[in-house]
Structure 1
Amino acid sequence: MSTLAEAAVALGYGLASALVPVVNAEAYAVIAGHRGGHALVAVLALALGQTVGKLLLFESARRGSGRLARTVARRRRSGRAGGRATRWTEPIRRWLSRRRTALPTVLVSAAVGVPPLAVVSLAAGTAGIRRGEFAVACLSGRVIRFALLVLPAALA
């Protein structure tokens, strides 16, 4: 596959995996590493696609923050599922509300996966983080994550 085709496929796959939970970007990164060739291009394009998808979540939360807050408040009041949602959203909301912990939270979430990046993307949209700062932290974390997944396969 040519470099351009690899980049286009990885970009599309990254975007799809950011929006559809059953599409696994990590598996694509490992497979790209085993195929060799354009693993670096695949990592960068996959990370860029994921970042674009998470920016869509970020923007949708930012523009609909009133509705999202009402939904979270309603779920807090509803039994067991509400307890699980509150367990994730409250600490994330606290971390994202402070300037010094907001970007490290996004970076760690993007690189490690805990807390889930989808939840962080939505919470960051409502917390008032700047779009550009969110994008840079998310892209950096995703590049780190995918590069670490590709590295053993590429070196083997």
Structure 2
Amino acid sequence: MSGVVQAAAALGYGFASAFVPFVNAEAYAVFAGQPGGSVVIAVVALSVGQTAGKLVLFETGRRGSGRLARRFARRNQSGRVAARTARWAERVRRWLSRRRTGLPTVLLAASVGVPPLALVSMAAGTAGLRHWEFAVACLLGRVVRFAVLALPAALA
């Protein structure tokens, strides 16, 4: 497979995997590490594609945070549950809005997967984290994660 085709396939697969849970980017990274392909191109393109998809989730969280809050407020919740949910959401928003805690959380989610990157992406958008900071942390974490997964297959 040529480098351009491999990059395009990895980019598209990475973008799709940002939204569809059963489209597994990690499995693609392991497969891309097989002999006969360019591992570096596949890992970088897969990471860029997935970061682009997570930026869509980030922007969705940023633009839709007011609508989501109103929707939850309309639900018929007991006062106790609503208060607990509001306290938890405010803690998460404060945690992600600070650079010293928000960026490491995004980097950890992107490289290790805990907490889930999809949830962190949307929460970081509501918290007001900067686009470029989120994108850099997410891309760096994804490159590390996919490179670690592709490396054993590439060296075998």
Shared fold per TM-score greater than 0.5:
yes
Q: Where does structure 2 lack aligned partners over 5 or more consecutive residues?
A: none
Q: Tell me the distance in 1 between the aligned counterparts of 2:89 and 2:11.
A: 29
Which AA in structure 2 matches 1:97?
A: S
Q: Which moved more, 1:66-75 or 1:91-100?
A: 66-75
Q: In structure 2, how many angstroms separate the alpha carbons of the residues matched to 1:153 and 1:5?
A: 20
Alignment partner, residue 41 of structure 1 = 41
CA offsets, 1:90-137, max 9 Å, x none?
764342032310100000000000000000000000000000000000
Which protein is bigger by CA-based radius of gyration? 2
Go from structure 1 to structure 2 and tell me whether the alpha carbon gap of 1:30 and 1:75 turns closer, same or farther (over 3 Å shift): farther
1:3 correspondence with 2:31: no
Q: Name the residue aligned to 1:129.
A: 129
Give SS of 2:33's match: helix
Deviation of 1:68 after TM superposition, in Å, equals 2.2
How far 1:70 sits from its partner (Å)? 3.2
Aligned residues: 150
* Structure 1: 5+ residue stretches without partners: none
Aligned-residue CA RMSD (Å): 2.4
Q: CA deviation at 1:72?
A: 5.1
**In the alignment, structure 1 residue 64 sits paired with structure 2 residue 64:** yes
Distance 1:143 1:73, change over 3 A: farther
Residue 48 of structure 1 deviates from its aligned partner by: 0.2
CA distance in 2, matches of 1:47, 1:105: 18
Q: What residue identity is the alignment partner of 2:8?
A: A
Q: Give the TM-score taking structure 2 as reference length.
A: 0.86
1:21 Cα deviation after fit: 1.2
CA gap of 1:26–1:113, structure 2 versus 1, over 3 A, is same
The TM-score with structure 1 as length reference comes to 0.86
C-alpha distance in structure 2 between counterparts of 1:75 and 1:125, whole Å = 23
Select the structure that is richer in helix: 1
